Amino acid sequence: MESEGENQSIKLTEADQMESKETQFKSSSEEKSVSVHETENQSENESQRLQSEALAKALSSTLTTVIKEFDSKAQQTSTSQDHLSQSLDRLTRELDKLLEDAPLPFIMQHSAKISVVRKRVSSLNSVLKSVQRRLDNIDRMLSVGASHQHQQQQQQQHDKATTEHSGLQ
């Protein structure tokens, strides 16, 4: 009887060992599965981050080009407006001289029209300069924002590298 009891005890011990090995194998497999999922998630996050950065760079490049073109056109318009304003001033002075010499009603009418046009041009010139200042402010804010975003990305990469390095030790 003792040998049967011992046999049953040995069988139970072997069964316990087998069950323990199966549990360890399952646990190891689950850990590997979790590790694979974590790696896949990290790769997916990195891929999304890279795509976001590429999109941000493309948008920034496009906006920079558009803003530079607009600035160039606005500068040309401003120069043209200044030239027109100077020409109108010269014309007004010449008309004033003409009026002093011969104050005709016809000349007075045209002189008044030219004065109205001159005021409109001056007003448009003021608006144009105001718009140009605003665009310069927007451009400056975008430049500062892009610089700040770049610094944040560098800090995040540094933090990530530090975290990964400390995780390896």
Residue whose token pair is 């040995």: 10
Over the stretch 18-53, which tens digit does the pLDDT of each residue have?
Answer: 676 666 666 655 665 556 667 778 888 888 888 988
Question: With 60 as the cut, is the pLDDT of residue 168 above it?
Answer: no
CA–CA gap between residue 92 and residue 119 (Å, rounded): 11
Predicted local confidence at residue 29, as pLDDT: 58
What b/e readout covers 106-138, taking b as 16+ CB neighbours within 10 angstroms?
A: eeeeebeeeeeebeebeeebeebeeebeeeeee
Predicted local confidence at residue 161, as pLDDT: 72
CA–CA gap between residue 28 and residue 19 (Å, rounded): 14
User: Could you tell me the pLDDT band of residue 64, with boundaries at 50, 70 and 90?
Assistant: confident
CA–CA gap between residue 48 and residue 50 (Å, rounded): 5
Over the stretch 86-110, which tens digit does the pLDDT of each residue have?
Answer: 988 898 888 888 777 766 777 778 8
Residue 91 and residue 114 in contact, taking contact as beta carbons nearer than 8 Å: yes
Over the stretch 118-138, which tens digit does the pLDDT of each residue have?
Answer: 889 888 888 988 988 998 888
Of 25 and 79, the one with more pLDDT? 79
pTM for this one? 0.42
